[in-house]
Amino acid sequence: MRESRKAYSASEGVRKAYLRSLADPKSRIDPRIHSGMEDLIIDAKMLADAASGLVYRKYTIEESGGPADPALPFELSVPVWVRTREDTLRIEHSRDGATWTTVYEKIADFRDPSTIFPYPVEIPKDQDAMRVDGTHYFRSWIMNYQGDTSWSDPLTLIFDRDPPYSHATPVKFPDIPVVTDDSLKVGAKLKLPAYTGGAPGDQVLVYWMSHIPEKIEDLDPPIVTLPTTGAEQELSIPEDKIRAVGDGGVYALYLLVDKALNISALSVWTSIPVALGELPTAFGDPEVPLATAADGFLIDQADAQLGVEVWVPWQEHIKATDTVVVTWGSIELPAETVGSANKEFIQIKVPEETLLRAYGSNEGPLPTNVSYVLNRGTHPVGGADTDINVDFETMDPGGPSPEWPLPIHPGLEPVVVRGRGAASGENELDDDDAGLPADLEVELYSFAKENDELEFYWAGELATTYTVSDTDKPNDTILVVAPWAVIEKGGNGPAIPVNYRASRPGVHNPVHATPTDVLVDAITITPVAATFNHLVRGMITCASIQASNGHVGGPAVEVLIPDLTEYHQFSAFTKIQAKWWVYRGETDDLGFDVIDAVTLDVSIDIDDEHPITGFTWRIPYATNVLPTHEGNTDPRFNSSRANVQYILKTGKGDIESIEARVDLAFMPPSGVCDPAGGAI
């Protein structure tokens, strides 16, 4: 009975095992079939480390990381298998080697002769299973037409897309002292800070640049590439690389790259002063040319209008790429490159707004320090300073006008000019005003005070002054007189400037009114007389004629027409009329009988041959001088009286010059003058 129960129990176990086998079809497949598939193949170029199966980052990222990190397909290859007319090919993935999910599937007839083996499979990287870093297992799984399945052993790969420092910014290089020729003798070194997670195969790429890169694409090639394990380490910078970049503010920064070519963020840059070459050692004081001992080293509003400069003396061993930083008072000006300075001074303009801001609301002279620093790169090599005074105090309690440093103040009304002639108009002087003074009227400005002095100018010439009295009030009309002598000196013109300036005792900077343009056409002129060349005792003699004979035009009386430039202000002209006539006899008591045969009356254009600055008019000897000796037996008629006048042909009419007179006494005792030689 006991044997019978044992047999029944054994049979029951077999039956249960059989039922389990029906529920699990895989247990009925010959294990030798399962293990017959060859392993998946991965191209060696995709592996950063073949021993561990570490895959380069660029094959595991979905999108391009930029030009330096392009995304490439993640591809595995399936070795050839026993194919049927319809096979199902899967690539399965697992994180633990036990649970598998399908990441690729294709159903096809793989027997086509064109099918390449090992069969390449590009696995999409946008699947959740593919996005995790760490160990990944891949195997091929194939089911044939008959329903038989086979799979390969796992291919173990490692994905690593986390760069050193993860996604944080690496710590910057610590600062180092200035790099000079002397310091390069012992070498320039940077200290790479330690970082966590360092691993064999990590590298540091060091950049030494003259500009700050905003992104990785802006980087120059690295000057040093070295392995690192994450510990703090000292990095030597090659001297030739330092000299190639030159003086700076050089910016040193780095990237970390691991074995999978994950690139860290760009480190914060470290500014390193670099000053190469021989350095200046002597520094002269700066100069402010408009502030000298003659004016108590003072800069005022008129200087500001002209343009204030600081002149930095040229130093021995200075470089064109060096920079100079000037400080005016407490305000530092932007650095200026030395460049092609004249080897005596580096001239630096001080902006008007800097001048005014440094002076502030002070009154009277303000002691102001002016200094400079010479920099090579960002390294201050040396400098010097000087002290001056600045006075921008204004009469206006409201402060400098918007036009500052122009002296024109909008609160000063312009002058109104009135002539005293019968037909005079406002701001016009005509013929009726000739010889008369002019009245100048002005409305007194709002901030006028007793003892303010007003100086009135006509064409830049001081015409008159007026001192504000205790009875004068703002907006009162002030009347002063411009003398005719000043008006006449200013000349005619369509816009003669008339203005005034106001000054106050104790206030250095005067204020000016806008000039009034006055139409002046009240001045008549008489051009000066012409003169004669080669005179002998004030006369035209035979020697005078001989002195002119070397001219291509032959002998002549040479008349000098003077510089006519000044007469243009009265009325423009482009030609003159010139006259020559001769009276018989040596003295006026012999009458004024004109020798008609020698008279000249010609028009002369003002041109290159006859410039407005003056020219010579030649009276031909043979035709217009010699015939004046007519053979009269009376010796009083052996000489005669020549006359010259020129006339300006202006738009306003003819303007005649003063007549010029000279005695013609060219006959020697022999009675014959040889222009080519001596008297006969």
| Mean local confidence (pLDDT), 400-421 | 93
Sole residue written with tokens 């009030």: 473
Residue, of 180 and 216, whose pLDDT is higher = 180
**Hey, which residues does 326 pair with through a beta bridge?**
372
pLDDT score at 445:
97
pLDDT for 387-404, tens place per residue? 999 999 999 998 898 889
pLDDT for 256-305, tens place per residue? 999 999 999 999 999 999 999 999 999 999 999 999 999 999 999 999 99
pLDDT score at 653:
84
Give, rounded to a whole angstrom, the gap between the first and last alpha carbons of the chain: 190
CA-nearest of 660, 507, 663 to 585 is 663
pLDDT score at 15:
40
pLDDT score at 65:
63
Structure tokens, 252: 């040193």
Count of CB atoms situated within 10 Å of the CB of 558: 19
Domain boundaries 27-159, corresponding CATH code: 2.60.40.10
**CATH among 3.40.50, 1.10.3470, 3.30.930, 2.60.40 for 293-391:** 2.60.40
State the pLDDT confidence band at 216, using cuts at 50, 70 and 90: confident
Q: How far apart are CA 437 and CA 479, in angstroms?
A: 13
**Hey, which residues does 482 pair with through a beta bridge?**
438
∠ CA 390-394-398, nearest 5°, is: 130
State the pLDDT confidence band at 69, using cuts at 50, 70 and 90: low
Q: How far apart are CA 401 and CA 502, in angstroms?
A: 14
State the pLDDT confidence band at 2, using cuts at 50, 70 and 90: very low
**What fold, for 179-275?**
Immunoglobulin-like (2.60.40)
In the chain, count of helices (H) and strands (E)?
9, 42
pLDDT score at 30:
40
The answer, yes or no, to whether residue 20 has pLDDT greater than 50, is no
CA-nearest of 494, 414, 499 to 463 is 499
| Mean local confidence (pLDDT), 415-420 | 96
Return the H-helix or E-strand segment holding 388.
strand 379-391
Q: How many CA atoms lie within 13 A of 436 on its CB side?
A: 19
| Identity of the amino acid at 645 | Q
DSSP string, 33-62: HHTTSPPPB--GGGEEETTTTEEPGGGT-S
State the pLDDT confidence band at 572, using cuts at 50, 70 and 90: confident
Q: Is 196 exposed, middle or buried (0-12, 13-18, 19+ CB in 10 A)?
A: exposed
pLDDT score at 170:
93
pLDDT for 344-390, tens place per residue? 899 999 999 999 999 999 999 999 999 999 999 999 999 999 999 99
pLDDT score at 313:
94
Query: Quick one: CATH architecture of 416-520?
Result: Sandwich (2.60)
Count of CB atoms situated within 10 Å of the CB of 174: 10
| Mean local confidence (pLDDT), 474-478 | 96
The answer, yes or no, to whether residue 119 has pLDDT greater than 50, is yes
List the beta strands (DSSP E) in 56-133: 75-78, 87-94, 101-108, 119-122
| Mean local confidence (pLDDT), 314-321 | 90
pLDDT score at 193:
95
pLDDT score at 32:
39
Q: How far apart are CA 164 and CA 470, in angstroms?
A: 85
Domain boundaries 531-664, corresponding CATH code: 2.60.40
Structure tokens, 500: 């005034």
pLDDT score at 341:
62
pLDDT score at 24:
41
State the pLDDT confidence band at 480, using cuts at 50, 70 and 90: very high
Q: Where, residue-wise, is CATH 2.60.40.10 in the chain? A: 27-159, 416-520
Count of CB atoms situated within 10 Å of the CB of 60: 23
